[in-house]
Amino acid sequence: MKEILEQAYGYIFEEALLLEIEKVAIYKEFKAEEYLIEIGDYIKSMPLLLHGAIKILREDENGDELLLYFLERGDTCAMTLTCCMGKSKSKIRAIAENDGAMLMIPVEKMEEWLTKYKTWRNFVFESYNIRLNEMLEAIDTLAFMNLDERLYKYLTDKAKVIGNTEINNTHQQIAYDMHTSRVVISRLLKSLEIQGKIKLHRNKIEIVAL
């Protein structure tokens, strides 16, 4: 664990903090598709992502979903920060995009380190900033882009996160993430294929040029 921690966070945290993390953190592995946080959960520990990717979803009263953004190595979830500090329930759902691992930090430590370590404080604020910017990007996408553009962005973003230009998804799964219907996604994917931007296969979409 020491090595992985060093590898993912060594360049941001000072030695003393790394040692403390090592002492109290719980190492947790997860599998693709695993539900990590459900809406309404109380969160008692804060995750530091070591490897793998996690997708963060929002849901409305009718159970309709919308993908907000992805978390990657070195990320933590600002919603978790929010919930830890404010002791409120999670307003989002987190699902593993692929296999991965993370460290769980108890809430008390999180608060304690804020005064004790400048690098931790910076990390926490930096995380908030990144998350706010991701949210702004999500808003831009919704407000200013058409569905076909949003779809292409979805595909390329996903390709970046999983590090592969081949995306193993059904049209239905994409429709859920984007909060639209399967027919619409099929239609737009077909038109992207005609434009030469992607190639369609069963259960697989290939991005021609990233």
Partner DNA sequence: TTAGGTATGTTACTTTTGTTACACAAAAAG
Partner DNA sequence: CTTTTTGTGTAACAAAAGTAACATACCTAA
Residues that bind DNA (CB under 7 A): 146-148, 170-172, 179-184, 186-187, 189-190, 200, 202-204
135 binds, among a copy of itself, DNA, none (CB under 5 to 8 A by kind): a copy of itself
148 binds, among a copy of itself, DNA, none (CB under 5 to 8 A by kind): DNA
Alpha carbon distance, N-terminus to C-terminus of the chain:
34
At 69 the three-state DSSP class reads strand
63 binds, among DNA, a copy of itself, none (CB under 5 to 8 A by kind): none
Structural contact between residues 174 and 154, judged by C-beta atoms closer than 8 angstroms: yes
E-state strands within the chain: 26-30, 35-37, 45-51, 54-59, 65-71, 93-96, 100-106, 166-167, 198-201, 204-207
190 binds, among DNA, a copy of itself, none (CB under 5 to 8 A by kind): DNA
Q: For residue 142, count other CB atoms closer than 10 A to its CB.
A: 12
Name the phi and psi angles at 118, rounded to 5: -65, -40
CB of 78 to a copy of itself, least distance (A): 6
CB of 176 to DNA, least distance (A): 11
Q: Nearer Cβ to DNA, position 77 or 192?
A: 192
Interface with a copy of itself by CB under 8 A: which residues?
Answer: 58, 60, 62, 64, 66, 68, 78-79, 81-82, 85-86, 88, 91-92, 114-115, 121-122, 125-126, 128-129, 131-133, 135-136, 138-140, 142-144, 179
Q: Nearer Cβ to DNA, position 122 or 168?
A: 168
Q: Nearer Cβ to a copy of itself, position 55 or 100?
A: 55
CA atoms within 13 A on the CB side of 35: 7
143 binds, among a copy of itself, DNA, none (CB under 5 to 8 A by kind): a copy of itself
- The residues, any chain, with a CB within 8 Å of residue 162's CB and separated by 6 or more, are 53, 97, 98
